[in-house]
Structure 1
Amino acid sequence: MNQNFTSTTLTDSRQAEATTVSRVIPTYVYATVFASLCIAVGLQWDISWHMSVGRDGLFSPPHILIYLGAVIAGLFSGIKVLRTSFWGSKEEKSQSIKFWGIFHGSLGAMFCVWGAFAMLTSAPFDDWWHNTYGLDVKILSPPHALLGLGMMMIQFGAMISVIAAQNKLGEKMDARTKSHLQWMYALSAGFLLVMVYTLVSEYFFLNMLHGVLTYQVAALMFPLFLISISFASPYKFGATKMALIYTFAMAAMVWIMPLFPAEPKLSPVFNYITRFQPFHFPILLIVPAVAIDYAIERWRHTNKWLLAGMLSLIFVIFFTPAQWYFSEILISETGRGWFFGRFSWPYFANPDYEFRFQFHPDSTSHGWDLIKGLLIAVGIGTLTSRVGLSWGNWMKQVKR
C-alpha cells in the first residue's frame, strides 16, 4: 500500500511540475521554437529537392514545411499579441512593447508576426516571378530575399522569446523550467545558425575549403552569432550547445535524405540520380565554439575591444586548422561514404567535373597569401566579435 501511495504521489508531483512549467513558459514560445525547426529542416530539404528533382511548383513538400513554420509562428504569436492588446490587463500591457499605438506584445512575438507576413507574402510573389521570368539565375531573387528575411525574423523571434522568458524569470525558475529554457535557447539558436550557414554556403563548397576566402567569410559571419549567444546565455557553454544543435541538424539531413528515392524532373540532366542528394555536411563550428565559451567565461569583464580581438584570434586559430584538415577527409574516398555524404552531386552538374574531388587551384591559398589572408580574417572577426558582444549584452537585458 505504501508503494502504491508513493508511486501515486510521484506521478502527481511530476504532473504538477509539468503544469507549472507550461504556465511559466508561454505556449507561443514553444510554438515559435517548433516553427524555427520547421524552417531549418524545410530549408535543407528544399535545397536537396532542387539538387535532386528541380523546381517542382509552389506546393512542393519542403515548401509546405517551410510555410507551415510561418503559419505556426504567425498564428500563435499573433494570438498572443491580440490577446494582450485587447484583453490584457494593465500589468500585462506594461510588460510588453507597444506597436502602432494599438498593439501590445513581446518583442519576440512581434518579430515572428512580421516574419510570418513576409514569408507568406513571398509565396505568391515567388510563383508569379517564376511564371514571368522563368527559373532563377541567382539564389537571392527579390521573392527569395523577402522569404529569407522572413525566415530569419521568425528564427530570431523564437530565440528572443526564449531569452526574454529566461531574463524575466531570473532566479525564480525551478530546475525543471531552467532545463526547458536552456535547451529551447540552444535549439532556437542552433536553428538560426543553420539558416546563417545556408546563406553563405556557396563559400563552403568542398573544393574551396583550402582557400583563405572561406575563412574570411567564416570570420565575418560566425563569431557574431557564437559570441552573442555565449555572452547572453545565463548558462555555461551557450555557444557550444548552439553549435551542437547546428551540427546535428545538418548531419541528420545528410544521413536521412539519401534514404528516399528521387529523380530529376527538369532538364538538362547531366548526372542521373535515383536518391535524394544531401546538402553539406556541417562545418566544424563546434571547435571554436568550445574555445569561445571558455574565453568568455574567464574574461567576460575585460575591455570589450580587447576581448573582441582575443575572441577573433581564438576563432581563427581553432576553426581554420580544424576545418582545413577536416576538408581533406571530406574530399577523400572516406568522405564519399554515407556518413559524410560527399558523394552528393546535383543532377544538373557534370559528374566528371575535374575538381569534384580536388581542391580548385583558383580557390587554394599557400604561403604568405594564406598568412596575410588569415590576418585579414582576424581583423574582420574583431569587428564582428565586437558587434557580437554588444548584441549579447543587449539580449541579456531583454525582458519583454
Structure 2
Amino acid sequence: MSLGILLVTVGGSWDITNHVLNKPESFASVPHGVMYSGVALALIGTVMSFLIWHKIEDKKYLKISLKLGIIGIVVLISAGPIDFLWHSNFGLDGLLSPPHMSLIFGMILTSIGGMVGLVRYHILSQSKSSKFLIVIGLLPIWLASSGLISSLSLPFSNTDFFNFNPEPVTAMIVATLCYPFLISLILISSSRLSKNKFGIISLIGGLFLAIYGSTAILPNFTMSDTVLFYSTNLLPLVASDYIISKLNYKHVKYIGAGILGSTFYMFYYPYIMYTYNEVLLGKLVSPSLIYSIYFELITDVFLITLIPAVLAAFAGCYFSKRVCEKIEA
C-alpha cells in the first residue's frame, strides 16, 4: 500500500508543478498516469494485506491497518471517474477541486493504514533491518499530507468555471502552522518508532527532499540550478537527528522539533513563496521570477513565522508521542 501511495504522491507533486508552469493538462497527462499507476499498486497492496490478515491468528493487531487501507483505496479509486468527469465538463481543475481532494484524502487514509501495518510488523519481527519499514510507512503520509496543506494554502485553484483559491491571510496561517506541525510530527515519530536510532530522521528527510526536488524544482528549467541550495536542508535534518539520538536530555526532542519546524519555508521551496507573496508583496509571479521573489521574501517570512512555526513544531512533537503510543499498543 505505502509504495503505491508513494508513487501517487510523486505524480501529484509533478501535477502541481505543471499547474504552476501552466502546462496543458488533461485526464491522460503523464503525472495523472503516474498517480493512477500508484493507485493500482496500492490496490494490489491492499488485497495482499487482506490475504495476510485473513491467515494470521491475531487479527485484531492488523485490523485497523486493513480498515484504513480499504476505505482509503475506495476513495482513491472513486477519484479516477470523478477526475475524468471533471476534466470532460470543466477542463482544467485547480488544486482545491473535488477530484484532487478525493485523491488526497484517499492517499492519506491508505498511507496511514499502510504505515500502521508496517510499524506493527516491525514490532512483531524484532528485526533491525525492519526499522527501514518505518521510512516506507511514514514518507507517503508526509508527502500526501503536504499535498493537502498545499491545496489549502496555494493560490492555484482559480479556473474558468470555479475559483476555489483560499483567502490569502487564511492560507498564510495554514501554511505557517501546518507545515511545521507536519514536519515535526513525521520526523519525531520516525525517531520514536525507531527507538531514537541515528540516521532515520536524516534518511526520511533526505528522501523527501529528493522526491520533492525532482518533481517540484527540476521540471522548471529556470530553477534547476537551485538544487544545490535546496540540498542545504540536509543540514538541519542531520543536526536534529544527532541532537535527538545522541543527547540524553529530557526534552531534547522538542529542541530537534523546533529546529526542523523553523526551516519549513526552505523545505517547501519554491512554491510556498506564492502563499506569502499574496499577502506580503502581491506581485504577479511568472515561472521565471519564482526564484527571485522567493529570496526577496525569505527574511520577512522567517521573522514573521519563526515563533508560530516553532510552537507548531512543538505541538507536532507532543502529538507524535500520543500517535506512536497508539500505533505500538
Common fold by TM > 0.5 = yes
Which residue, 74, 77, 90 being the options, matches 1:120?
77
Identity of counterpart residues, as a percentage?
A: 18
Tell me if 1:291 matches 2:253. Answer: no
What one-letter code is carried by the residue in structure 2 that aligns with 1:54? P
**Contact 1:52-1:277 at 8 Å conserved across structures:** no
- RCO higher in structure (CA 8 A, sep ≥6): 1
- Per-residue CA deviations over 1:176-201 (Å, capped at 9, x if unaligned) read xx33x233432343343333334444
Name stretches of at least 5 consecutive residues in structure 1 with no aligned partner.
1-31, 99-104, 206-211, 259-274, 332-347
Tell me what 2:164 maps to: none
Specify whether residues 189 and 47 from structure 1 end up closer, same or farther in structure 2 by C-alpha distance, changes over 3 A only.
Answer: same
Which residue, 213, 220, 240 being the options, matches 1:251?
213
- TM-superposed deviation, 1:147: 0.8
TM-score (norm. length: structure 2): 0.71
Secondary structure at the aligned position of 1:119 is classed as: helix
- Per-residue CA deviations over 1:301-325 (Å, capped at 9, x if unaligned) read 83xxx556434433356x37x949x
- Per-residue CA deviations over 1:29-81 (Å, capped at 9, x if unaligned) read xxx34313321322233234443632212x33322321222222223322442
What one-letter code is carried by the residue in structure 2 that aligns with 1:290? V
Tell me what 1:163 maps to: 119
Tell me what 1:6 maps to: none
- TM-superposed deviation, 1:169: 1.3
- Per-residue CA deviations over 1:108-149 (Å, capped at 9, x if unaligned) read 33332222111111111222234444533x412222211101
What one-letter code is carried by the residue in structure 2 that aligns with 1:315? L
Tell me what 1:313 maps to: 258
- Structure 2 Cα separation of the partners of residues 349 and 358 of structure 1: 8
**Contact 1:189-1:229 at 8 Å conserved across structures:** yes
Specify whether residues 381 and 54 from structure 1 end up closer, same or farther in structure 2 by C-alpha distance, changes over 3 A only.
Answer: same
- Per-residue CA deviations over 1:333-372 (Å, capped at 9, x if unaligned) read xxxxxxxxxxxxxxx974676x7623487x5655xx9656
- Structure 1 Cα separation of the partners of residues 183 and 88 of structure 2: 36
Which residue, 201, 204, 229 being the options, matches 1:242?
204
What one-letter code is carried by the residue in structure 2 that aligns with 1:375? I
Tell me what 1:358 maps to: 293
Specify whether residues 295 and 389 from structure 1 end up closer, same or farther in structure 2 by C-alpha distance, changes over 3 A only.
Answer: farther
Specify whether residues 165 and 300 from structure 1 end up closer, same or farther in structure 2 by C-alpha distance, changes over 3 A only.
Answer: farther
- TM-superposed deviation, 1:166: 0.8
Tell me if 1:96 matches 2:31. Answer: no
- Structure 1 Cα separation of the partners of residues 34 and 304 of structure 2: 44
Alignment of 1:1-400 (within 5 A): 32-50=1-19, 51=21, 53-57=23-27, 59-82=28-51, 84-85=53-54, 88=55, 92-93=56-57, 95-97=58-60, 106-136=63-93, 138-170=94-126, 173=127, 178-179=128-129, 181-201=130-150, 216-234=177-195, 235-253=197-215, 257=219, 285-298=233-246, 302=250, 306=251, 309-316=254-261, 319=263, 323=266, 350=286, 357-359=292-294, 363=297, 366=300, 371=303, 373-395=305-327, 397=328
Runs of 4+ in 1 over 6 A off after TM superposition: 202-205, 275-278
Q: What is the root-mean-square deviation in Å for CA atoms of aligned residues?
A: 4.1
**Contact 2:108-2:144 at 8 Å conserved across structures:** yes
**Contact 2:201-2:238 at 8 Å conserved across structures:** yes
**Contact 1:231-1:296 at 8 Å conserved across structures:** no
- TM-superposed deviation, 1:232: 1.1
Secondary structure at the aligned position of 1:135 is classed as: coil
- Structure 2 Cα separation of the partners of residues 231 and 199 of structure 1: 25
**Contact 1:231-1:389 at 8 Å conserved across structures:** yes
- May I ask how many residue pairs the two structures share in their alignment? 294
More moved, 109-118 vs 215-224: 215-224
Name stretches of at least 5 consecutive residues in structure 2 with no aligned partner.
156-171, 274-283
Specify whether residues 316 and 276 from structure 1 end up closer, same or farther in structure 2 by C-alpha distance, changes over 3 A only.
Answer: closer
- Structure 2 Cα separation of the partners of residues 229 and 284 of structure 1: 21
- Structure 2 Cα separation of the partners of residues 97 and 46 of structure 1: 38
**Contact 1:78-1:109 at 8 Å conserved across structures:** no
Structure (1/2) with the larger helix percentage = 2
Secondary structure at the aligned position of 2:293 is classed as: coil
**Contact 2:75-2:106 at 8 Å conserved across structures:** yes
